[in-house]
Amino acid sequence: MALKHFRTVTPMLKASFQSKTFGLCQRTSLMANSYSVSTVDENATSQAVVSERRGRMVIVAINRPEVRNAVNQETAGRLLEELQAFDSDPELNVAVLHGRGGNFCAGYDLKTLANQKAPLKLEQDVTKGPGPMGPSRLQLSKPLIAAVSGFAVAGGLELALLADLRVVEESAVMGVFCRRFGVPLIDGGTVRLPRLIGLSRALDLILTGRPIGAQEALAYGLANRVVPDGQALQAAVELAEQIGSFPQQCLRADRSSAVYSCYDAPSFTQAMQYEFEHGVPIIQSEAIAGATKFTSGEGRGGKFS
């Protein structure tokens, strides 16, 4: 599934992010691409979002540890820019999203909201602009993995839900903490969470705002992996490397079909038709070559190496 609704957004970013609608005014920080060849610039500590490119993977980090990586408007814009750049780059196969300093993301920066003198202006049409947290309205065409440490709550939980997979540290805490302050979920939380863990469990979290730990999140299906504290990023990177090593046309076709059947397919029959039509071309482009490798002895016994 291509980056739905956002094919025409990238050329307009420079203008859009200076508009009153998005409330962003720092042109240079929004338009700069922070990818490096192999390492993050250690002098970039003042940047709200930093990225590191490793081969066909990009690691995107929210870099506001002093506020538990709470997202303000600048950060939202940078996150959107980085994930759009990832999705449109043919050299990149998978992305990892994490937060620096021990927390994934504590949601939208409520101090910024409390001190907002003018009414917060947001794009009302979800097909035309970013969400308050930035990339939350995207439908990426390639896998995104969230490495969750510390708090992933409120809007931070919604960012984690944007990912295909969530690698969660043992002491991490997730939850709809914004329930206590009258801040609604408008970055996909009420859409993605029920699809992911079922309506009953989603309503438990949405209505109570209670914290949920790593093991309960794993039992719910909210977490895909639970790892010791301090190891989420490394585990997510290793998982990304594995996913990125597979034949990508097949992987993306299967991923797209799964997402379509969950969100967009009006019937079982149309979901099956979508799967077939998008899978058949892959037989010629990748499956025949893969079958040849298998017959020569590669991958026997379920080996992935």
Residues with Cβ within 8 Å of residue 9, at least 6 apart in sequence: 16, 84, 129
* pLDDT tens sequence for the chain (305 residues): 444 433 333 333 333 333 322 332 232 232 233 333 333 444 455 799 999 999 999 999 999 999 999 999 999 999 999 999 999 999 999 999 999 999 999 999 988 777 777 777 778 888 888 899 999 999 999 999 999 999 999 999 999 999 999 999 999 999 999 999 889 999 999 999 999 999 999 999 999 999 999 999 999 999 999 999 999 999 999 999 999 999 999 999 999 999 999 999 999 999 999 999 999 999 887 766 666 666 666 556 666 55
Q: What DSSP element (H or E) covers 145?
A: strand 144-148
Q: Where do runs of H (alpha helix) occur along the chain? A: 13-16, 27-31, 73-88, 110-114, 155-162, 189-197, 199-208, 214-220, 232-244, 248-263, 268-282, 288-295
Contact of 150 with 65, CB cutoff 8 Å: no
Q: Determine the 3-state secondary structure of 131 from DSSP.
A: strand
Residues with Cβ within 8 Å of residue 221, at least 6 apart in sequence: 196, 197
